[in-house]
Amino acid sequence: MHLGIEPIQYTPWDGKRTPIFNRIVLIADKVFKKNIKAKGVLALLIIGSILVHVFPILTTAIIPFEKLTAEMMVKSAEMAMDVPYMMNPFFALFSILLAAVVTSDLISSDLQDNSFILYFSRPIKPAIYLTSKLLGSASVLAVYCLMMPLIFCLVVIATQTGSDYLSSLKVMGMTFVAGLFITFFFSTMGLMMSSVTKRKAYAGVGTFMAFFAPMIISEFFAHFNENWKLLSPVNILHYTFLRIYGYSIPGSIEVNYYYAALFGYLILPLLFTYYILQRRAMGK
């Protein structure tokens, strides 16, 4: 007896399907929104920003520079701090911590819930899934690693005493590239760690240790051979910054080893994650 109320029937939908790009954005957006609301991520963002970014921004606003230079970003310590802005060790440290927290459940939660099948039974291939998750985590890291340095550059340019704005804008462009680099540099290792365990905590600790342990080993062996410095992700980061800002890496470092280390930290984790995804989701 329906008492005059019609039962709910299945109704068709005749809308147009969106291109695959929209779905990449959807996954990345979900990762971003979830993380940006998380207390742990917010705390790291705030503490990290205060320690690394806010102080130079404030001092710059009070004591203006003539113009924004590559030197002040990576070479000299001019801003009431004893390290150049991009070389601040806290910058790398908080980036690593953020990457560990943000990426820890990116893939591990899908492994735990077995929700891979919901993605891959749709036109989402492992490469698209991986790209989306990478963009999602990078978008959170970009708040700290890209947006804050750009704000710093803007403040320097806005308060600069000289008139060479073009040169300052060029350095700001380099900062954009450097910020993008650090954003992705730390995300890829986190994704890899997240793809090998179902436990978020293991993935987070694994990511931190994957960066921290080589730093210790590098410090020890660098006394024997300078190339051991390339084992440290922070050193690779700093050498890459030097190159982005137009400087060369120290002569004691073999360039080919540098490229190999870059490949090892940036590309290899992605390839490994892709392989894991193929195996787990596609039965290969």
Partner 1 sequence: MEVRIRAKNIVVRYGSVTALDSFSTGIPRGIVGILGPNGAGKTTFIKVLLGLVQPQSGEFTINGRGSVQDPRDMVGYMPENDCLMGSMNAFELVSYMGGLSGMMRDEAIQRSHAVLDFVGIGEERYRNVGTYSTGMKQRVKLAQAIVHDPEILLLDEPTNGMDPDGRKDMLELISDIGRTGKTILVSSHLLHEVEQVCEHVKIIDGGKLIREGAIKEILMPEDGRYKLKVRGTKEGIRKFCKLLRKEHGILRVTDEGSQAEIIVKNVRASGYILGCVRESGVQLRYYRPDLLSLEDAFMETFTGGDASGD
What residues between 101 and 160 interact with partner 1 by CB under 8 A? 109-110, 113-124
Stretch of 7-15, 88-96, 209-217, 246-254 contacting partner 1, by CB under 8 A: 7-15
Q: Are 185 and 237 in contact (CB under 8 A)?
A: yes
Q: Per rule CB under 8 A, is residue 201 in the interface with partner 1?
A: no
Q: Applying CB under 8 A, which of residues 6, 166, 251, 283 lies at the interface with partner 1?
A: 283
Q: Are 83 and 73 in contact (CB under 8 A)?
A: no
Q: Give the E-state strand segments of 86-189 in sequence order.
A: none
**The pair of three-digit structure tokens given for residue 262, joined into one six-digit string:** 């870059």
Stretch of 11-19, 49-57, 58-66, 239-247 contacting partner 1, by CB under 8 A: 11-19
Q: Per rule CB under 8 A, is residue 18 in the interface with partner 1?
A: yes
Q: How far, in Å, CA of 9 to CA of 219, rounded?
A: 68
Q: How far, in Å, CA of 108 to CA of 200, rounded?
A: 6
Q: Per rule CB under 8 A, is residue 15 in the interface with partner 1?
A: yes
Smallest distance from partner 1 to CB 273, Å:
18
What residues between 44 and 103 interact with partner 1 by CB under 8 A? none
Is the Cβ of residue 132 or residue 218 nearer to partner 1 in the bound state?
A: 132
Neighbours of 70 (CB within 10 A): 21
**The pair of three-digit structure tokens given for residue 60, joined into one six-digit string:** 């710059």
Q: How far, in Å, CA of 7 to CA of 26, rounded?
A: 33
Smallest distance from partner 1 to CB 26, Å:
5
Q: Which residue has the tokens 């690394």?
A: 52
Q: Per rule CB under 8 A, is residue 14 in the interface with partner 1?
A: yes
What residues between 27 and 46 interact with partner 1 by CB under 8 A? 27, 30
Residues 6+ apart with CB under 8 A from 235: 218, 229
Stretch of 4-12, 77-85, 153-161, 250-258 contacting partner 1, by CB under 8 A: 4-12
Q: Tell which residue, 109, 94, 108, 107, has the closest CA to residue 40.
A: 94
| Residues belonging to the chain | 284
Is the Cβ of residue 4 or residue 7 nearer to partner 1 in the bound state?
A: 7
Is the Cβ of residue 121 or residue 161 nearer to partner 1 in the bound state?
A: 121
Which residues contact partner 1 (rule: CB under 8 A)? 8-15, 17-18, 22-23, 26-27, 30, 109-110, 113-124, 281-284
